Structure 1
Amino acid sequence: MRATMIAVAALCLAGCGQADQAETSIAASPSELTAEQARQYAHDSYVFTYPLALYYRTMYNQAIKPGMAFGQWLHLGTSTPDDTDIVTPNNDTPYSYAWVDVRAEPWVLTMPAIDKDRYYTSQWDDSWGYVIDNPGSVLDGNGGGNYLLAGPDWNGELPDGINRVIRGESTLLGTITRTQLLGGPQDMPAVRKIQQQYKLQPLSAFLGTEPPAPAPAVEWPEWTEGDEKTEKYWDYVAFMLPFIAPNPDDADAMAKLSALGVEAGKDWNPETLDPAIRDAVAQGVQDAIAEFDEWGTNPKLDSGKIFGSRATQGTDYLNRALGTYLGIFGNVSQQAMYLQIPIDASGEPLDGSKHNYTITFPKGETPPVDYFWSFTMYKVPQRWLVANPIDRYSISNRTKGIKTNADGSLTLYFQHESPGKDKESNWLPAPDGPFWMVLRNYGPDETIIDGTFPAPRPVPTGE
């Protein structure tokens, strides 16, 4: 069974969706399930709903828990190892987070005009983890504008002064808005000035009209870290389902959820299940988590497929889940390509306690991008930034002081100890243990998107 699951995962990552594997007959309730079915349904349902629960985790931390609110910006500086709200944060484009509840009325996002050489984008995702829009440099230029954030059922007229409507499949929408840091920390005041000009307001406030009646109050469940690996996970899924507009393409996946007893707005009651079925559901969850872990270190993972819209991902639930698992709020390939680097040139997992590593780009062969590229270092399994004595968490073509070799090539050093004062300008410190890297490419050339320009592999240089 395990081998079959991995084979299916390989097919999905190659481009097929799980809808192609739909079963001809799905059990109607837990009482009709065999243990084997329960395990498979739990696996499939966990993969299907993983973004729903983990986006709730992020939303809870940024908009629901005490001190936070919907429609309120959370502007950050450069990321540090203390930032653990999301996995695989970057250190090149300081983040601005916000969430809106559009049940009562749409909201309006206002983007300021900024300097033409700086990259910015306000990426918006729905609760399924689909990327639904990216107002900013790539799609709209740097002139700013207003954008309507609406629910899936909103059908009003587009007001004057609004560039376009942004809508997903949920009434809860979240953004990670990125503002490029140019050159280093000395540019942070300019980034903060831009961040303060991002604006969110209800449509009625934008129009100066009477606001509608508020949406019904919600009793938001407290998120507890680790719940995603326990039976409590299914309660979060059931809680989030009422905020989703069902898509006909998900009918089979929703039927499997129902067969497990997971229903919109109702607590999941595992104690009512036959013990063998309950155990099988728990095993199915562990199967899915193991699958995520396995793909997280697989060099064949296609980062261009793990982030996308409903139009590009469809029912490819595995890739959608992997995007959330490996880098929640990752962006679509037209904005940025994230080349995963889990292994070295010999095929071994990266480990700063065993080796030093280098990557060398021949002259003129650095990643082809419109904006910039950067390597970011993460400790595993957490996929958080690595604390180090020089407080450097990424290295890029914009890193101050970076040096090329005499022949014009560029060598970067990835290791725990300093490679020497003369090379520290090109050093990204690694942990004294396992690590994982991402090469981010902003405004990537087509050769990066189609894989012609592959992820480089670090060369081990010593014990």
Structure 2
Amino acid sequence: MKNHLLLASFLTLSISWGYGSAKQVDSPLTPKEAYKLAKEAYIFSFPLLMNYRTMHMQAIDENSKFYNGGFGKWRSYDPASPENQDVVTPNIDTPYSFAWVDLRQEPWVLTLPKIDTARYYTSQWNDLWGFVLDNPGSIKDGNEGGNFLLAGPNWKGKKPEGIKRIIQGESSFLGSLTRTEFLGNNDLDNLSQIQKNYKLQPLSAFLGKTAPKPAAKIEWLQWKEEDLHTDAVFTYVNFLLSLTKPNAADQAILHRIAKLGIIGGKPWQPEKLDPKVREYVQQGIIDATSLIEEGAKESKNSSSFFGNRETMQNEYLHRAVGVYAGMFSNTADQAFYIPWDTDAEGHYLDGSKYAYEITFPANGAPPVKYFWSITMYSLTDHFLVANPIHRYSINSRNPIVKEKDGAMTIFISHRSPGKDKELNWLPTPKGPFYMVLRTYGPSTSIVDEKWEMPVVKAVPAHSALMGSIYHMLNWFSSDH
């Protein structure tokens, strides 16, 4: 009842912003039509749901282990580990700093510190639709730091003095995943100091003026993971649409799904649907989920999944696949991601069946301005893989051993390939996995897919085991 009252309170705002009509369409829905609309609505709204899930655990739910203190607060992490599970496909090379801001009352100001010139950093800001709005930092601005204005969709003020540029999205809440390059175990203090110098403050505080009247209090919907795969999910969608400003490019789909009762600010009332229609709505959600999952499996690089409104346009499935595959993944000018989930023969990677090798020929490493990395993930949950040497990625700043001709081979296996190869070893789980090649400051040859990626070569697991035994016996037979 409380949630229905909350949603109704947004009705006037939703109508003025163009979310459907005040009256739900009365013409009866056929089961087939309901299936199609539910499937379409789920894919369209999936980024809203995933961003709310993350925002809820980080900035709203005080009982969440990922809670950062509320809106306008930073929470920074040391280099990622398997215990970090607030976003899927986490990045170990550039430790994260998360923040969310509520822009209903007034804009906020982001301040980045000046940092050393050799280090990479970027403060990525997204709206609730998953659009990447901007990336203040090394590639766009250098490492001198500066102030940037974060504004809500209805703000129309002028750029204040001392502000480099304005970052504005289509929702009243924006989130940041700010990345700071980690330069090795001796760099933890430097990393921590940079993260502590990231600053957020309301515009009024930045200007030394009195703050405007507070925005209305929101009674947030409690996130329930089980709702994501039932028709209860549209309760969240109707609520979240009220926190965004509709774009003209989305008017057609907003009009269509309004017939199903998906309208910003209105309560979702599935109990009023014919039981057969409701059954088809549920099937539409199931099939939409499958489409998103399959899209992630079939993706070969990240370039089409992340961008702003102009670059993404109405590619709703691409946008959904992007947030499913990696929340807050970045645009190609910052970092280009290439997933590896099959070997040279097209078989899915599995650490229980095979060991693998990736060989970069001499002068054949990824051409980048900053660095590249290969990170290991479990296919079952998309998180980092615990292993005895606590190594979750290999990157170009590591002491990788090269062959005499300059080539380098990365050994990928559940068991050690042998002590003499462990500097180049990336451990796998004992089961299905995938890897992501990340390139920071990628060359155009990578973005245009002209750089030739090496293949993942499978080696029978027993061969890798015999190699480990051979090296162990050789060690014992030598003088130690």
Larger radius of gyration: 2
Give the aligned partner of residue 180 of structure 1: 181
Unpaired segments ≥5 residues, structure 1:
1-27
Aligned with 2:122: secondary structure?
Answer: strand
Task: Indicate conservation of the 8 Å contact 1:341/1:456, yes or no.
Answer: no
**What CA distance in whole angstroms lies between the structure 1 residues aligned with 2:295 and 2:135?**
27
Task: Indicate conservation of the 8 Å contact 2:231/2:285, yes or no.
Answer: no
The yes-or-no answer on 1:453 pairing with 2:451 is yes
**What CA distance in whole angstroms lies between the structure 1 residues aligned with 2:86 and 2:256?**
30
Give the aligned partner of residue 170 of structure 2: 169
Matched letter for residue 318 of structure 2: N
Matched letter for residue 381 of structure 2: Q
Aligned with 2:242: secondary structure?
Answer: helix
Displacement of 1:393: 0.7
The yes-or-no answer on 1:51 pairing with 2:47 is yes
> Counterparts in 2 of 1:187-336, with a 5 A limit?
187-298=187-298, 300-336=299-335
**More displaced stretch, 219-228 vs 371-380:** 219-228
**What CA distance in whole angstroms lies between the structure 1 residues aligned with 2:452 and 2:278?**
44
**What CA distance in whole angstroms lies between the structure 2 residues aligned with 1:336 and 1:346?**
28
**What CA distance in whole angstroms lies between the structure 1 residues aligned with 2:335 and 2:347?**
27
Give the aligned partner of residue 41 of structure 1: 37
* Identity fraction in percent: 50
Matched letter for residue 383 of structure 1: H
**What CA distance in whole angstroms lies between the structure 2 residues aligned with 1:424 and 1:31?**
66
Q: 1:102 to 1:360 in 2, by over 3 A?
A: same
Aligned with 1:69: secondary structure?
Answer: coil
Q: Could you list the runs of 4 or more consecutive aligned residues of structure 1 that deviate by over 6 angstroms after TM superposition?
A: none
Give the aligned partner of residue 376 of structure 1: 375
Give the aligned partner of residue 23 of structure 1: none
Give the aligned partner of residue 426 of structure 2: 428
**What CA distance in whole angstroms lies between the structure 1 residues aligned with 2:347 and 2:269?**
43
Displacement of 1:257: 2.4
**What CA distance in whole angstroms lies between the structure 2 residues aligned with 1:290 and 1:233?**
16
Query: After superposition, what is the alpha-carbon deviation per residue over 1:222-247, rounded to whole angstroms, capped at 9, x for unaligned?
Result: 11223211222111111111111110
Displacement of 1:152: 1.2
**More displaced stretch, 450-459 vs 109-118:** 450-459
Q: 1:315 to 1:240 in 2, by over 3 A?
A: same
Unpaired segments ≥5 residues, structure 2:
1-23, 462-480
Q: 1:454 to 1:263 in 2, by over 3 A?
A: farther
**What CA distance in whole angstroms lies between the structure 2 residues aligned with 1:275 and 1:122?**
47
Give the aligned partner of residue 417 of structure 2: 419
**What CA distance in whole angstroms lies between the structure 2 residues aligned with 1:408 and 1:216?**
62
Query: After superposition, what is the alpha-carbon deviation per residue over 1:308-347, rounded to whole angstroms, capped at 9, x for unaligned?
Result: 1001001111111111000010000000001011111100
Task: Indicate conservation of the 8 Å contact 1:439/1:455, yes or no.
Answer: no
Task: Indicate conservation of the 8 Å contact 1:414/1:427, yes or no.
Answer: yes
Displacement of 1:180: 0.3
Q: 1:382 to 1:455 in 2, by over 3 A?
A: farther
**What CA distance in whole angstroms lies between the structure 1 residues aligned with 2:258 and 2:294?**
28
Give the aligned partner of residue 123 of structure 1: 124
Task: Indicate conservation of the 8 Å contact 1:76/1:96, yes or no.
Answer: yes
Give the aligned partner of residue 145 of structure 1: 146
Task: Indicate conservation of the 8 Å contact 2:301/2:337, yes or no.
Answer: no
- Give the aligned CA root-mean-square deviation in angstroms: 1.2
The yes-or-no answer on 1:403 pairing with 2:401 is yes
Displacement of 1:30: 7.2
Q: 1:63 aligns with which of 59, 62, 67?
A: 59
Q: TM-score, normalised by structure 1?
A: 0.92
Give the aligned partner of residue 440 of structure 2: 442
Give the aligned partner of residue 351 of structure 1: 350
Give the aligned partner of residue 385 of structure 1: 384
Aligned with 2:458: secondary structure?
Answer: strand
Give the aligned partner of residue 155 of structure 2: 154
Task: Indicate conservation of the 8 Å contact 1:416/1:430, yes or no.
Answer: yes
Query: After superposition, what is the alpha-carbon deviation per residue over 1:19-52, rounded to whole angstroms, capped at 9, x for unaligned?
Result: xxxxxxxxx7375322111111111111110000
Aligned with 1:385: secondary structure?
Answer: coil
Task: Indicate conservation of the 8 Å contact 1:103/1:215, yes or no.
Answer: yes
**What CA distance in whole angstroms lies between the structure 1 residues aligned with 2:441 and 2:355?**
30
Q: TM-score, normalised by structure 2?
A: 0.88
Query: After superposition, what is the alpha-carbon deviation per residue over 1:107-154, rounded to whole angstroms, capped at 9, x for unaligned?
Result: 000000000010000000001000000000000000000000001111
**What CA distance in whole angstroms lies between the structure 1 residues aligned with 2:453 and 2:364?**
13
**What CA distance in whole angstroms lies between the structure 2 residues aligned with 1:351 and 1:201?**
47
